[in-house]
Amino acid sequence: MPPSPPPPRSSWLVADVGSHACEIHTPSDPLPGRAVVYLHGLQEEWLQEMPVLRDSLESARLPVIAPRAGRSWWLDRIVPAFDPSISPERYVLDHVVPEIARRCGVSPPGIALVGTGMGGQGALRLAYRHPNIFPVTAAISPAIDFHTALRDAHLRSDGELYDTLWELYGDVERARQDTAILHVHPLNWPRHQFFACDPGDEHWYDGAVRLKSKLAALGIPNTARLEALGGGHGLESADRIVADVMSFILTALDQESRRLT
C-alpha cells in the first residue's frame, strides 16, 4: 500500500489534479516566474516528509507541485495501476505543467524538474525527451539503469518493487532501450542538468557514471556529483546534496529568465 498523506502543513496541501493527487506548495511570497515539479521515488515518499528538501524549497520561495504516480517510473507508457488512459509522462506534461501555470502563473522555461531515485531518472528522462519544456533538471541518486533491476531482481531483497517494469517490458533489453541514457539527443538537450550519486549506491552508481561519460563524449554541458556523499542510496545521501541541488536550480532558473528567446 502507498504511504498515507502526511498531516496538513502550512502552505502545503494535497489536491486533485487531472484525477490524481498532487502535493502543492504555494508560498505567500513566491519567487516570480519560477517553480518546481518534484517526482517521487520508488518508496513513494511524500515531499512534505523529506524535511531537508522541503525546508530548502520553502526557504527559496519556490512554488512546487509533486504529483503522485505510484511505481510508474514516470514513463511514456500506459501503467494500468496509475491510469488506464494516460501515461505518467503525458500526465506531467498535460496536467501538471498547466496546473502550475493556472495556480502560479509560471510556464516553461521557468519550471525545474527535480526527482530522487525512480523520480530522478524520470526527471532526466523527461528533460531529455522534452528539453524545451524542461531546460532545468536535477536528479538525486537517479535509478538510470533500471533494466539492471530486472536482470538482477532475483538477487535483490527489494526485487518485488520492480514488478511494474516486468509488466511493461517483459524483457531486460527492451527496458534498457527505454532508459534515460538512450533518450539523450546529441543536438537537443536540457541546457541545465545536474545529477548526483554516491559510489556507495551499489545499484545505481554505475548508471550515473555511464551517463556522465556519454554527456562528456557528446560535449553536452552538465554538473555531476559522483564523489562520496555518504549514505549510499537513501535520504541520508539525498539530504547531503540538497544545498547543491537548490543552488543549481536557482542559478539555472535565473539564467533561463534572462535568456533571449
* Model confidence pLDDT, tens digit, residues 14-26: 999 999 999 999 9
Tell me the C-alpha to C-alpha distance, in Å, between residue 43 and each of 19, 152, 233, 234. Answer: 21, 19, 12, 10
pLDDT of 226 reads: 94
- How does DSSP classify residue 62? -
Rounded to an integer, what distance in angstroms lies between the CA atom of residue 13 and that of residue 48? 9
Burial (CB < 10 A; 0-12, 13-18, 19+), residue 171, is exposed
- H or E element that contains 238: helix 235-258
User: Which triple of cell numbers denotes residue 110?
Assistant: 521557468
User: Which triple of cell numbers denotes residue 64?
Assistant: 512546487
Rounded to an integer, what distance in angstroms lies between the CA atom of residue 178 and that of residue 251? 30
Angle value at C-alpha 124, between 75 and 250, nearest 5 degrees? 135
Say whether 223 sits in a helix, a strand or coil: strand
Rounded to an integer, what distance in angstroms lies between the CA atom of residue 235 and that of residue 260? 38
pLDDT of 14 reads: 96
User: 0.85 cut: is pTM over it?
Assistant: yes
| Among candidate residues 15, 214, 198, 230, the one with its CA nearest the CA of residue 102 | 15
pLDDT of 259 reads: 85
Tell me the C-alpha to C-alpha distance, in Å, between residue 39 and each of 36, 180, 215. Answer: 10, 15, 23
Torsion angle, alpha carbons of 204, 177, 68, 12, to 10:
60
Rounded to an integer, what distance in angstroms lies between the CA atom of residue 229 and that of residue 75? 28
Task: Give per-residue pLDDT as tens, 38-72.
Answer: 999 999 999 999 999 999 999 999 999 999 999 99
Please name each of the domains of the chain with its CATH number: 12-258 (3.40.50.1820)
Rounded to an integer, what distance in angstroms lies between the CA atom of residue 110 and that of residue 250? 10
pLDDT of 230 reads: 65
Angle value at C-alpha 42, between 44 and 16, nearest 5 degrees? 35
pLDDT of 71 reads: 94
Q: Which residues of the chain have pLDDT under 70?
A: 1, 153-159, 230-237, 261
Rounded to an integer, what distance in angstroms lies between the CA atom of residue 211 and that of residue 196? 11
- How does DSSP classify residue 95? I
